[in-house]
Amino acid sequence: MREGCSVTAPYPQEDSMTVRRLLALACSATLFTAGAAVAAPAAGPAVSIPKAQWPFQATTVADFDEPWAMTFLPDGTLLVSEKRGALMRLDPKTKRKSAITGVPAVAYGGQGGFGDVLAHPRFAKNGLVYVSYAEPGEGDTRGAAVARAKLTLDATGGGTLSDLRVIWRQDPKVTGNGHFGHRLAFGPDGKLWISSSERQKFTPAQDMKTNLGKLIRLNDDGSVPADNPFVAQGGVAAQVWSLGHRNILGLAFDSKGRLWEHEMGPLGGDELNLIQRGANYGYPMVSNGDNYDGTPIPDHNTRPEFAAPKISWTPVISPAGFVIYSGKQFPAWRGNGFIGGLSSMALVQVSLGDQPRELARYDMGARIREVEQGPDGALWLLEDEASSSTGRLLKLTPKSKAAVENDA
């Protein structure tokens, strides 16, 4: 597959800009013309919208040390996880940052460290938050873990996690520092969803004796729902909602209650998927990309028994962070998905209608790690701390009030 693009490279920490971006650029001409052969609409290298043409203004609110995720609390403050192992609370009005104590120790290195942070849907009543992180194991192994804790806020702007309990772990822990996934989301049914990537080990994504390469669905206390599709198999299979995934770094529910996820492909073939109960998304049996050593992987359209992506990107965008917009500040954007781009250094806007497609790509000039919607309907972005950024938190608002009124 994809003749003329047999780039040889080591298996990388692929949300690093250098390898994925250079490989994508090296293959872009051939891969763009090959897009018509894939099962999903292939999003070719869209023309990036420069800053002068943005329909929004981006305001820097704060800087963070290797930020990874954020979640808003009911009082309007923001929790931000930092990959090295810190959890910060920010007041967007005063821009005051304060540390949250009691966070778990993390296995920092490569793609590992502190991951997602998520407030319980009933946080105002129960004060519960969920954190994901890379956890060390025996020898040189590690794996993702998810813990639940009570967050008590204090008058100084910080707070403390207490009664922290691990409610889920990747099984087994393996060597390597890549593909943890560990994105978190709550569904409309109150269930907790966890992305468990395949840890760069390929075959576990199809092995039901492991929860690697799977999408996990749990009750909010970590127990297994009785209506999960593989619950009768017992063991870790009971946790699984779907399988055949590679590196999931974005989860979001739309207004219809449907779950969408995006994941990084190998050399080409980043995916946007609509998740179905018990479905197999095919990796590593199929992909619209190739292995990093240049060996081909069969396309999705060669194996119809596997669920195909709704959008496939070659060249890649390196997706990270995901929100489906429902706010008031950008009414024309309601129902659209917004994806952070790492190697693409972009905010990618997608339609989630009957024929999902990329609508726009905003050139942000830095790797975008996380995307969230604020309580007031603004879009918030976290830049990945790298040579292109100091780990900024950006707030996106319409350029003018008139523009909002004209869109309504």
State how far the Cα of 60 lies from the Cα of 77, in Å rounded to an integer.
16
Q: At which residue do the structure tokens 């942000």 appear?
A: 364
Beta-carbon contacts of 177 under 8 Å, excluding residues fewer than 6 positions away, are 13, 109, 110, 111, 112, 134, 142
Q: How far apart are CA 7 and CA 294, in angstroms?
A: 5
DSSP per-residue letters across 378-400: -EEEEEPPBTTBS-EEEEEEES-
Neighbours of 102 (CB within 10 A): 15
Tell which phi-psi region holds residue 282, choosing left (phi > 0), alpha (psi between -120 and 50) or beta: left
Respond yes or no: is residue 120 known to be catalytic: no
**332 contact partners, CB below 8 Å, separation of at least 6:** 407
- With vertex at residue 117, the alpha carbon angle to CA 111 and CA 121, rounded to the nearest 5 degrees, is 150
**Could you tell me which residues come within 8 angstroms of residue 246 by beta carbon, excluding any fewer than 6 positions away?**
179, 197, 198, 205, 213, 263, 264, 265, 266, 271, 283, 284, 287
Please tell me the distance from the alpha carbon of residue 258 to that of residue 310, in angstroms, as a whole number.
13
**Cα–Cα dist 306/153, whole Å:** 46
Q: How many Cα neighbours within 13 Å face the side chain of 387?
A: 4
- Closest to 214 in 3D by CA, of 157, 281, 262, 140: 281
Helix residue ranges per DSSP H, 96-159: 123-126
User: What is the Cα–Cα distance from 73 to 87, expressed in whole angstroms?
Assistant: 14
Judged by DSSP in three states, 39 sits in coil
| Set 120, 179, 182, 262: catalytic member | 179
**Residues catalogued as catalytic:** 179
